[in-house]
A and B are shown apart, each in its own frame.
Chain A
Amino acid sequence: MVVIKKTRLSLAIEKLLRNFNKVSPAVAFASTAGDLASAASVATPPGNLTNNRVSPALQALTAAALLLPGLAEPVLAADDEATIQYGHYEESNRDIYSRVLTSEFGYDLKKIPNNFAPITVDSLHVQGKTLLRDRWRFTANYSEDTWSGATPVATAPAGFGGNKVYGGGSGVKHLEPAAGDTISGATPYIQSLTPVFDRNLNPVLDKGLDAGFNQVYGFGSQPLTHTMTMASPETRKQGDFKLGYEWDEAAVDVGGGLSLENDYESRFVNWGGRLDFNSKLTTLNFSQSYTNSTVSALLDHDSLPYLGYIGYTLNGRSDNGYYDGSSSKGMLHGKREDIATNLSLTQVLSKCALAEAGVGYTHSSGFMENPYKATYAFFVDPDLFDPAAGVYLGANTTAYTEQRPNQRNQVNLNLRYVQHIAPLDAAMNLKYNYFLDDWGINAHTFEGKWVQPLPWGLTVTPTIRYYSQSAADFYHPYLVLKTPGSGDANDPAAYRALNRQYPHFSSDHRLSAYGALSGGVIVNKQFARGLNLEMGFEYYTHQGGLRLGGGGEGGYADFSAYSANAALKVDLDTLGRGLAEGGGDHRHHHHHQHGAAQPAGMMFAHMMNTADDWMVGYQYMFSKQAGNLLQGSRPISDTAITMNNAVNNPNCAGEQCFVAPSDMAMHMHMFMVMYAPTDWLNLMLMPTFMDMGMNMRELGGTTSPANTTLIGAAVNHADHEHQTGGIGDTNISALVKLYDDKLHHLHLGLGVSAPTGDVDIHLRPTHTYELGLIHYGMQLGSGTWDFTPTLTYTGHLDAWGWGAQLQGIKRLQNHNESGYRLGDMLQATAWGSYRFLDWLSGSVRGIYTTHDSLHGAYDRPHVPIGTMDTPANHGGKFWDIGLGLTATIPGGSLAGNSFGVEWIQPLRDDVNGIQLEREGALSAQWNYMF
């Protein structure tokens, strides 16, 4: 017993001293306080407390425990940690109802099949945390998400029509639906509705003519339906940081960031603090944030002719939103500010329970509309009442961009309770939130988590959440006025009449009354050496019928969604400690490693030589094309490309050329996990995440066809940036050591690339035309299984390093699911490096690449309009020079980390066919070996 006591106590004291030296942050509480508590209970005979004779050991431990920060901080976090997380969110298809021609002249209401691509979002989050100095900590985040799919733009009684069908094949126009049709990729159809109302202004279904050619009307309630619109992929990027300082019983932090989208920019700053008191049984948290956002939304040019944006033109040039029609594009501009303040109190209730209560207030002002939502207004002319049929006919229909108030005050009240469940060593985490605002919305959120630790480092957490909200005062699925309309969507008098009855209006179902129920699970696995894998899944259902107390929106707005994500966390502290405690071998190993730094743009070039070693890494690659259009290696003029507007032009997939790319940028994020089962074999897994953007320009001398033609619609659509993003292909490789004598090293890489990237990304339909698949170069993967062999030689002597690599890509399939395959590739590179400081090396390398052109062609709808749509205009021969720097941290808590950057400067392009010149590429790499 005595031995055990001493061991645990000395362990605790050792940790205590470590904390005195490096007064360790909240995060240390988890590992330390538990031990201190148990050490104290072992060190102190039970009678001591009641006798008021406190042992010196207990006093010391008590003092130490009190030095540790409060409980409100996330205890799982490490001092130095790198995290990557990938998430996928996907919604179900919406139900669409429509008035459908069911007999020769008769209509009926039907739910019609639709194969809109649902909303999907792919997201990436990279996070780095570090303890800068003893009490300073810094966190940086980068995240991006790309979304696409069909979303509701407006709502109307289903019998009025509001969605068109599309018969299939590019070049087929969208039509009014007939029985058996499938709605697919429809463009918003917010005109030419057939509104009929009864004497009480309830919607009536116009059923057409019966067999005796008599007009028939269907009275009684009828469902509503969304008018859907498709969106091409769009990407948002966000970077933010937080810097914190800690005292023994308090902490403060400041942070800020930037979120960028084509149509929305947000800048934000925040600050907060924490104060522990009452022997650290109570913690007060405070935070405040300010967000400033700018909206520049491009209105759908299909709906511009009949979309009422007059609410904004009457505003004048106000920050609350104004319409800018100065170019051929209609834009909505606005600004918005949000100031949020939150205050919360955390209290330890007992040895196994704690609770938190919080209050938050947010004031928002400015442009708070969703610029892509419209609300139908039906102007019913009292003079057009047909007494025989009992209906109003010929109502004027206008879809107005929604108008929300320019101020919003929101209050949040939170309660949270965490209870330890001793028999299972689990924790029950319950949360309730009450929200209300001056838009008339109040909402309740209940959340429950059961955090269950299991053996093998596993924690499994089932989660459940219920949310219910009331509707905003100004929420209306559609608007009806007993006033004759003018038929002009932007007629001021009609709008003023509307405004008198409805000062604000929105049909965004987010502001409707509904409930949402979701359930999910989080699985966390702690691996040895500080690696942690976390996976989450959640299913979510939004239903009007789930609203607390009933009275929710109709079933037409119901949808469900799922979200799945995986995160890998690398705790650099644990790894660093492992290295420090693991003896000199590893250190030597790292030293050896940075003796021969490799250029940051290289892949498969580094091999670990010690069995059971691990490496994790992240490589970012940015490449840009801009400048001249080249034919082979020479610039080519626009008229030479268009061949004087030849109708059958091989430069543009056999069609007439209208546009060419003006610039194209690609960002790739590659993650690598590598393991050495033996000293001659390394296994490697490398998933990628990427996003691309391309701007196009009309070629000189061309006249673009009218928007009313398919080609014209496609050319018109090319006047703003096309974007794609999401998961790319995933590489799985084995590196086999062929020769190693400490001076020279040779290894073979045998890999396959799995087709996890999409090759069926579509452009949104426009001008009622289906534009089909986006440009070849903007698909995210190859779509084929590819063989990726490499042969790498490296050598080093003193401060000098050198090497050469051959890398190939051989497509293993003739075509992918979209009918084509990318060309094979061969690359040869050679480099030299010199270590001019103990921790810093520079490298120079030459690169030669030959890339075959694309084979086959899209076998699905696709509308070629320019040089980038020609399979032969891909690949070529390329010569580059790369200049790089690599820093390796030799000691301290971040030992084993290496960072590299490399700029790759094109020297010569010899492209296949006609392509845009390359401007260069930047690679940045972080590796951590342990």
Chain B
Amino acid sequence: MINLKRAVGVFSIALALQLLGGCAVAPWERGTLAKPQMALEPYPLQTELRGHNYGAREAATGSSSGSGGGCGCY
């Protein structure tokens, strides 16, 4: 549980920094952010397929999605 506390701490600091760092970006200044390559998830199809591969092989992957995926019992 010590690990968990430390992780939550690091996470909160990161979150706070992020919020503080977020300066006002006017709507007309968001052209770059709107480019396709700037998407948080630029390739949903690839992410899903790779996620399925990882999920069948890794203990920590695939636990957070509620989208099926089967047993992966091989």
Residues of A in contact with B (beta carbons under 8 Å apart): 29-30, 32-38, 40-41, 44, 58, 61-62, 65-66, 71-72, 74-77, 83, 85, 87, 89, 119, 121, 123, 125, 127, 145, 147, 149, 151, 231, 236, 238, 240, 255, 257-259, 261, 263-264, 266, 268-270, 278-282, 287-291, 293, 295, 297, 338, 340, 342, 345-352, 354-357, 359-360, 362, 364, 370-372, 410-413, 415-416, 418, 420, 422, 425-427, 429, 433-437, 439, 441-443, 445, 449, 451-453, 459, 461, 467, 469, 472, 510-511, 516, 522, 524, 534, 536, 538, 540, 542, 561, 563, 565, 567
Residue from the set B44, B45, B61 with the largest chain A CB neighbour count within 10 Å? B45
Total inter-chain residue pairs, C-beta < 8 Å: 277
Q: Are A34 and B53 in contact (CB under 8 A)?
A: no
In the bound complex, how far is the Cα of B51 from the Cα of A89, in angstroms? 12
Starting from the known contacts A349-B23, A413-B11, 16 additional A-B residue pairs (CB-CB under 8 Å) come to: A33-B33, A61-B28, A62-B26, A65-B30, A75-B34, A85-B45, A119-B74, A231-B74, A264-B71, A281-B22, A357-B15, A364-B63, A422-B32, A429-B40, A516-B58, A536-B49
Q: Are A290 and B34 in contact (CB under 8 A)?
A: no
Q: Are A467 and B33 in contact (CB under 8 A)?
A: no
* Across-interface contacts of A236 in B (CB, < 8 A): 70-71
In the bound complex, how far is the Cα of B11 from the Cα of A429, in angstroms? 19
* Across-interface contacts of A352 in B (CB, < 8 A): 32-33, 38
**CB nearest neighbor in B for A264:** B71
* A61-B27, A348-B22 given; A34·B34 CB < 8 A: yes
Kindly list the 9 A-B residue pairs having the minimum CB-CB distance in the complex, ordered from nearest: A289-B66, A65-B27, A40-B28, A37-B31, A443-B60, A264-B71, A435-B60, A451-B37, A259-B68
In the bound complex, how far is the Cα of B38 from the Cα of A430, in angstroms? 11
- A selection of 14 A-B contacts at a CB cut-off of 8 Å is A40-B28, A77-B44, A119-B74, A338-B66, A351-B25, A352-B32, A354-B40, A360-B64, A364-B63, A372-B73, A418-B38, A420-B35, A469-B60, A542-B57
In the bound complex, how far is the Cα of B54 from the Cα of A567, in angstroms? 19
Q: Are B22 and A259 in contact (CB under 8 A)?
A: no
Q: Are A83 and B28 in contact (CB under 8 A)?
A: no
Q: Output the least CB separation between B31 and chain A (Å).
A: 4
* Across-interface contacts of A359 in B (CB, < 8 A): 11
Q: Output the least CB separation between A159 and chain B (Å).
A: 27
In the bound complex, how far is the Cα of B28 from the Cα of A890, in angstroms? 39
Q: Output the least CB separation between A442 and chain B (Å).
A: 6
Q: Are A420 and B39 in contact (CB under 8 A)?
A: no
Q: Are B15 and A345 in contact (CB under 8 A)?
A: yes
Residues of B in contact with A (beta carbons under 8 Å apart): 3-4, 7-8, 11, 14-15, 18-19, 21-46, 48-50, 52-54, 57-61, 63-71, 73-74
* Across-interface contacts of A372 in B (CB, < 8 A): 73-74
Q: Output the least CB separation between B64 and chain A (Å).
A: 4
Q: Output the least CB separation between A222 and chain B (Å).
A: 26
* Across-interface contacts of B59 in A (CB, < 8 A): 439, 441, 443, 469, 472, 510-511
* Across-interface contacts of B19 in A (CB, < 8 A): 282, 345, 347
Q: Are B45 and A125 in contact (CB under 8 A)?
A: yes
**CB nearest neighbor in A for B43:** A522
Q: Are A37 and B71 in contact (CB under 8 A)?
A: no
In the bound complex, how far is the Cα of B30 from the Cα of A35, in angstroms? 10
In the bound complex, how far is the Cα of B58 from the Cα of A410, in angstroms? 14
* Across-interface contacts of B53 in A (CB, < 8 A): 89, 121, 538, 540, 561, 563
Q: Are A427 and B40 in contact (CB under 8 A)?
A: no
Q: Are B49 and A123 in contact (CB under 8 A)?
A: yes
**CB nearest neighbor in A for B42:** A451
Contact of A461 among B42, B54, B71 (CB under 8 A): B42
* Across-interface contacts of B68 in A (CB, < 8 A): 238, 240, 257-259, 266, 268, 291
* Across-interface contacts of A281 in B (CB, < 8 A): 22, 24-25
Q: Are A347 and B22 in contact (CB under 8 A)?
A: yes
In the bound complex, how far is the Cα of B4 from the Cα of A920, in angstroms? 59
Q: Are B65 and A416 in contact (CB under 8 A)?
A: no
Q: Output the least CB separation between A906 and chain B (Å).
A: 34
Q: Are A340 and B63 in contact (CB under 8 A)?
A: yes
Q: Are A354 and B44 in contact (CB under 8 A)?
A: no
Q: Is the interface of B mostly helix, strand, loop or mixed?
A: loop
Q: Output the least CB separation between A659 and chain B (Å).
A: 27
**CB nearest neighbor in B for A285:** B40
In the bound complex, how far is the Cα of B54 from the Cα of A89, in angstroms? 11
* Across-interface contacts of A350 in B (CB, < 8 A): 23, 25
In the bound complex, how far is the Cα of B26 from the Cα of A44, in angstroms? 13
* Across-interface contacts of B34 in A (CB, < 8 A): 29-30, 32-34, 37, 71, 75
* Across-interface contacts of B74 in A (CB, < 8 A): 119, 147, 149, 151, 231, 372
Q: Are B46 and A534 in contact (CB under 8 A)?
A: yes
Q: Output the least CB separation between A53 and chain B (Å).
A: 15
Q: Are B73 and A263 in contact (CB under 8 A)?
A: yes
Q: Are B22 and A436 in contact (CB under 8 A)?
A: no
Q: Output the least CB separation between B17 and chain A (Å).
A: 9
* Across-interface contacts of B63 in A (CB, < 8 A): 338, 340, 362, 364, 410, 412, 435, 437
Q: Output the least CB separation between A532 and chain B (Å).
A: 10
Q: Are A370 and B29 in contact (CB under 8 A)?
A: no
* A268-B68, A281-B24, A350-B25 given; A467·B40 CB < 8 A: no
Q: Are A270 and B67 in contact (CB under 8 A)?
A: yes
Q: Are A74 and B41 in contact (CB under 8 A)?
A: yes
* Across-interface contacts of A125 in B (CB, < 8 A): 45, 48-49
**CB nearest neighbor in B for A31:** B34
Contact of B33 among A71, A261, A278 (CB under 8 A): A71
In the bound complex, how far is the Cα of B25 from the Cα of A433, in angstroms? 27
Q: Are A270 and B28 in contact (CB under 8 A)?
A: no
* A266-B70, A291-B66, A348-B25 given; A418·B40 CB < 8 A: yes
* Across-interface contacts of A61 in B (CB, < 8 A): 27-28
Q: Output the least CB separation between A9 and chain B (Å).
A: 12
Q: Are B60 and A62 in contact (CB under 8 A)?
A: no
* A290-B66, A434-B7, A472-B59 given; A76·B36 CB < 8 A: yes
Q: Are B66 and A261 in contact (CB under 8 A)?
A: no
Contact of A445 among B45, B61, B71 (CB under 8 A): B61
Q: Output the least CB separation between B9 and chain A (Å).
A: 11
* Across-interface contacts of A263 in B (CB, < 8 A): 71, 73
In the bound complex, how far is the Cα of B64 from the Cα of A356, in angstroms? 16
Q: Output the least CB separation between B43 and chain A (Å).
A: 6
Q: Output the least CB separation between B36 and chain A (Å).
A: 5
Q: Are A467 and B42 in contact (CB under 8 A)?
A: no
* Across-interface contacts of A264 in B (CB, < 8 A): 70-71, 73
Q: Are B70 and A346 in contact (CB under 8 A)?
A: no
**CB nearest neighbor in B for A272:** B66
* A74-B39, A264-B71, A436-B7 given; A469·B58 CB < 8 A: yes
Q: Are B32 and A420 in contact (CB under 8 A)?
A: yes
Q: Output the least CB separation between A783 and chain B (Å).
A: 26
Q: Output the least CB separation between B10 and chain A (Å).
A: 8
Q: Output the least CB separation between B35 and chain A (Å).
A: 7
Residue from the set B19, B21, B36, B38 with the largest chain A CB neighbour count within 10 Å? B38
In the bound complex, how far is the Cα of B35 from the Cα of A268, in angstroms? 34
Q: Are B35 and A427 in contact (CB under 8 A)?
A: yes
Q: Are B4 and A411 in contact (CB under 8 A)?
A: yes
Q: Output the least CB separation between B55 and chain A (Å).
A: 10
* Across-interface contacts of A293 in B (CB, < 8 A): 71
Q: Output the least CB separation between B62 and chain A (Å).
A: 10
Q: Output the least CB separation between A340 and chain B (Å).
A: 5
In the bound complex, how far is the Cα of B39 from the Cα of A451, in angstroms? 10
**CB nearest neighbor in A for B45:** A567
Q: Are A563 and B49 in contact (CB under 8 A)?
A: yes
In the bound complex, how far is the Cα of B50 from the Cα of A516, in angstroms? 13
* A30-B34, A357-B11 given; A288·B66 CB < 8 A: yes
* Across-interface contacts of A445 in B (CB, < 8 A): 60-61
* A347-B18, A443-B59 given; A36·B71 CB < 8 A: no
* A355-B18, A461-B43 given; A453·B37 CB < 8 A: yes
Q: Output the least CB separation between A307 and chain B (Å).
A: 16
**CB nearest neighbor in B for A237:** B70
Q: Are A41 and B7 in contact (CB under 8 A)?
A: no
